[in-house]
Homo-oligomer: A and B are copies of this chain.
Amino acid sequence: MMEYEVKIRVENLAPVRKRLAALGIRPGSRVAERDLYLNSPARDFGKTDEALRIRTTDEETTLTYKGPRLGLGGVKAREEIIVPVGSGKGLEEILVRLGFTRTAMVEKSRETYRVEGAFVALDEVEGLGPFVEIEAPSGLGEDGAIALIGRVREALGLAGEETLLSYLELVLSTR
């Protein structure tokens, strides 16, 4: 299915939390996410604009594939397929046997909120700092997703510039 989201770099997460509290929105879970990105032996995902990720939290492990990005006026859209897996270590071993290589690990602390049905993530990314992501729920279609993301962004007063870059690209660009 298609993922629609906007990512905004912020100076500080505290004003965003304050705004959310003022809107009467309760914080959801806070989780530590460890994301291992892998590259394919058959093609370079840096060139094809794809991504393969093993995400591990205290709660669960998932494998995610992301297709090439489409930029829709600052909103990033891409195909996303997510599958829960029983063992991140085992899956990593299989992928390495298949010739996949480890590109980088991205670690962050993420607080998640629901705002008008959208998923709002307050992220503190290791080596990068704080970001806010707003993601539309699935099933809205392109226009509905973009409109919702715009409304939520305004409600939260997030005037900073959005980036179409992924955390992986941002982490790699600091090296």
- Indicate the member of A43, A65, A67 with the most B CB atoms within 10 Å: A65
| Contact among B83, B87, B93 for A87, CB-based, below 8 A | B83
Neighbouring B residues of A42 by C-beta, 8 Å? 40-42, 98-99
Neighbouring B residues of A47 by C-beta, 8 Å? none
The binding surface of chain A is classed by DSSP as: mixed
Q: Kindly report how many copies of this chain are found in the complex they form together.
A: 2
Q: Output the nearest chain B residue to A38 by Cβ-Cβ distance.
A: B98
In Å, the complex CA distance between A138 and B94 comes to: 18
| Count of residues in A whose CB is under 8 Å from the partner chain | 24
User: Does A52 sit at the interface, judged by CB under 8 A?
Assistant: yes
- Indicate the member of A67, A98, A99 with the most B CB atoms within 10 Å: A98
User: Does A72 sit at the interface, judged by CB under 8 A?
Assistant: no
> Mind listing 19 A-B residue pairs with CB under 8 Å?
A40-B42, A41-B41, A41-B43, A42-B98, A42-B99, A52-B94, A52-B98, A63-B94, A65-B93, A65-B97, A65-B98, A67-B97, A82-B90, A83-B85, A83-B90, A83-B91, A84-B85, A84-B86, A85-B86
